[in-house]
Chains A and B, each alone.
Chain A
């Protein structure tokens, strides 16, 4: 699906009329899918998929409650920490798998569009993959914790979505910049800056970050630790 989207965008061509003159605007020629910029562009776009993956993680956790297998596993002799760790590791593997998938897709897209580029150029900006991974894990661990907290799939999914799209933005209005981006969801979003600013740099004057942000990555790592720790703490003393 992403593949198709990318091909579609790559061949898109529109005519922009500005100041009375016509400027043919060919996306493909912009080099959206060229190495090394492709890493930035693709990881930005697939960032929107993270909500779907987060829902999967919620289901992953809440299933254990609806099947009551969480109870049986603890009865059988799994300690509380062992249990949470095993689930967190599965989530981590899930995140890694997704990142590898993005890596492969991006490589393929890049080769399809580019014409023979040197291998050091190909991998030059691939640090964006790491940024993607951190962004993904940040929301996955958040979804993990909410799933653990609420235990029912439907409510937990709604909770995650409402928080991400309604509550956090509302809190964000109350907090002065730039601290509003220190909130859980927002901080992970800021790791990878909007890549298209590169292409508007001539037209509009905006700040633009050419590499994944170290600051927001660090903050996101902090949140990952927070949600993981909270999950352990929550689970330790609960009745099942």
Chain B
């Protein structure tokens, strides 16, 4: 007996070329290359809510090309498909990209909390809830993120979220062994605060959560920017060996000298190349220290390194994003993200713990806060987020 195909609704900020919603929605509509074939998800995206329609909006065109997907003017109508009760089996929320206000801390106020609240209202009114995916962090606002998490637990629906970084290819293709004893961990990435910092934090978290004792949460975070970053580097706030290892995993190291295509930069080179570096240095409740570095100008990829107890070898890899910024044409790292959503919609169970993204949501906000408070240490008693990692690896390797 074949089970009927799940029907999905997507609630998105905007659908234009390279917006997150475009990558995600289009994978449900057109399918995508997966494990040696063009894979069509065994589910149907039947309802779409689009918050903004900027120039280049593709949603209307998609609606025409896929008549089975209807576009509704409100979230409630999308979820009820114009009726009075919840009429879908799963919801994909993509609140990334689009024009939303920036606050004084530099956070873009994407309406993920509002989207969530409206979705949950339909769940409540219908007396039924279905699995939900939330792209990237839960909210720019920690209290709202915590409320989203708590609501999902209270109502008992499968909730999955986060970045592509934990699930994309790794070069080399390695996993942190469960129960590892990690002394220190670090990532080097690029991009902005309240943006790619989240991805770089998830890069670290999906690895360190596998350590002995699992995740216990984070005690405090200290951000460094500009001159204070270079001072911290000099003082050895984070491990130089880890930083070198992560840089040696990059495929996009800006050549420090003309005439050389691949050469390791000196500190002076780095200072010249990276105009506005950012570090989030933080300590977990079990004492593990981690550092996330954004080094714009020096790299254009996401690299991870960890020092392990009892080993002289640094554990390092690159979380590989085939980025359509001239390097590729497809942001194929959305494929494993979508594939893991499909698994949740088919099984009704989240593939990896939402607590990971709850914690990285809080870390992102804490980084912003520390920067806003003149780069002072920010205590994070609210981030005592405990969880167990998945036993099985969930990153793309087949």
Asked if A pairs with B, the answer is no
